[in-house]
Amino acid sequence: MDRSVVTGWGAIIIGDEIMRGKRQDKHFVRAIEIMAARGLHLDWVEYLGDDRARLADTLRRTMSGGDVVFSFGGIGVTPDDHTRQAAAAAAGVALELHPEAEREIRARMAEMSQEVTPARLELGTFPLGSRIVPNPFNRIPGFSFGHHHFLPGFPQMAWPMLEWVLDTHYPEFFRQKTEAEFALIVWDGLEGQLLDLMRRIESEFAGVAVFSLPSFGSETVRRHIELGVRGTPELAAAAFAAMRAELERRGCELGDK
């Protein structure tokens, strides 16, 4: 697995139950937290229902790039689980029973004194060339194919498996960039009146990202904009100082974030 080609980080969250509002997704927020603890952040996330063709098309597209992708859900064997088959179709390979997955499944069934059935072994049928992702909860593994990592939909399984993937395969990416964020409140501010300043800051401080979060306010809080910058600590601090100075020159009423 060539880590030199990694260009970003993405997540795919799968399930009709999420798309139809029967369950609230928890993976997105937790993935952000797990990655932030390692100095990483997601670049994108996609939500998809249980549609095998759409899943395959999405995975075909993401597999053609260099992003590390974490996929949550759909790796079971019920009729609404399509992720394993979609991943194989996207990769252009067959599904096969992975020997390590088979050993884990047989060991789990022995622990539970249950029969090893074809349906249970199907849980270890992954695209040819996959690697297993150990499952500390019940030993039924997920799988990795290239830089795509396929995890169960159950949070108690998926989250430690996500941590294992990161800590095992990508520690060299941890905390590569030290990032700082500075922000302030512009009371009664309008984005259109500040657009020139935002563009100027990004132009003068290359590598700094300017963000603007407007609020219409409420009965207790006036209309305002949270205006800030994000980047390496020294550059972000300099950009923020320049932005604040210009806002003060314009007579804006400012508040601390």
- How far is CA 195 from each of CA 71, 166, 200, rounded to the nearest angstrom? 37, 38, 9
- Compute how many other C-beta atoms are within 10 angstroms of the C-beta atom of residue 192: 7
pLDDT digits (tens, 9 = 90+) for 96-113: 999 999 999 999 999 999
- Pair 93, 127: CB distance under 8 Å: yes
Walk me through the domains of the chain, giving residue ranges and CATH numbers: 3-173 (3.40.980.10), 180-256 (3.30.70.2860)
Q: How far apart are CA 189 and CA 253, in angstroms?
A: 8
E strand or H helix that includes residue 58: helix 52-63
3-state secondary structure 76-135: CCCCCCCHHHHHHHHHCCCEEECHHHHHHHHHHHHHCCCCCCHHHHHCCEEECCCEEECC
The model's pTM: 0.86
- Percent of residues, the chain, with pLDDT higher than 70: 99
pLDDT digits (tens, 9 = 90+) for 11-54: 999 999 999 999 999 999 999 999 999 999 999 999 999 999 99
- Pair 186, 195: CB distance under 8 Å: no
What's the confidence (pLDDT) of residue 176? Answer: 82
Q: Which has the closest alpha carbon to 105: 85, 87, 125, 91? A: 125
